[in-house]
Amino acid sequence: MVRLGDNQMYVASSGDGNPVILVHGFASSVWTSWHLNFHALAERFHVFGIDLMGFGRSDRPELQYGVELFAEIIRSIVDYYNLKKPNLVGWSMGGGVAIQYALRYPDNLAKLVLVDASRLRQTTPAEMRRSTVKSSPDGSLIRDRVRKDWEQYFYNKDKVPEEIIDEALLINNRPGSSMVRNIYRTANKWESFYDKLSLIQAPVLVMVATHSSLSLDDARSAQQRMKHSELHVINDAGHALQIEKAEEFNRAVIDFLR
């Protein structure tokens, strides 16, 4: 655990070499978002898997949760470990956080990997117009609800690992979790980064799948706006492409970051 002010954040750290920070998605954690990626990447890099404040095993203070706050939290972790030119890998909401960091702190960033990051598109995606994680009246989540949420992220729904369901159920029923989810949903207006992508200076790898939430056309259009960028498309996978096709994903990320 890392103490930031009055609160503690969970950070998993492993490996040697250039620093890589993994940024998870909404209502997720290191061990749900990066279940099959953390250790594979740690064989080549020094990997930092962060549970953003409000999620995972980190504390849940009452804050204005959103990508701006999360980008500042990433910067605090960079400063805490005195990291020089880290690489950022962000999935879903974490992709938006990574973009926000890249725009705000271009001088302390090596490369970006954006994994099915919805904020690359120009208009609000339909799935963002509704909640994807719904609570019971008492604010808790039940296993069937969590499973259905995660099945939406997979092209082959039989590939959802049971370990992810266990972890997601555990972390999203921690005290304060419902409060954080509600603040994020109600206090944040979805904003596209499309018009700002040309300002990103770092090399970028955009990763999508044939059945991910970001369409191939939107991914290609966004990728072409960035000066130093590549597009990698994974076949027969959904939103959680880094889990569903972990081997291909890990290989592509390692090749890009080396």
pLDDT tens for each residue of 175-202: 999 999 999 988 777 889 999 999 999 9
Residue 50's pLDDT is 97
- How confident is the model over 120-130, as a mean pLDDT? 68
The larger pLDDT score, comparing residue 132 to residue 182, is at 182
pLDDT surpassing 70 at residue 2: yes
Nearest alpha carbon to residue 200 among 218, 224, 217, 232: 224
pLDDT surpassing 80 at residue 126: no
What gap in Å lies between CA 223 and CA 205, rounded to an integer? 8
R_g of the chain, CA atoms, integer Å: 17
pLDDT surpassing 50 at residue 62: yes
Q: What would the pLDDT profile of 71-103 be if each residue is shown by its tens digit?
A: 999 999 999 999 999 999 999 999 999 999 999
Query: 2-257, what's its fold?
Result: Rossmann fold (3.40.50)
Residue with tokens 């605090």: 76
pLDDT surpassing 90 at residue 131: no
Residue 16's pLDDT is 95
The HSE-up count of residue 56 (CA atoms within 13 Å, CB side) is: 25
Question: Among the residues of the chain, which ranges form H helices?
Answer: 30-33, 38-42, 67-80, 93-104, 143-151, 162-171, 177-187, 216-225, 241-244, 246-257
Residue 129's pLDDT is 42
Name the residue ranges covered by the structural domains of the chain: 2-257
Residue 43's identity, in one-letter code, is: E
CA–CA distance from 221 to each of 36, 78, 197 (Å)?
A: 29, 31, 11
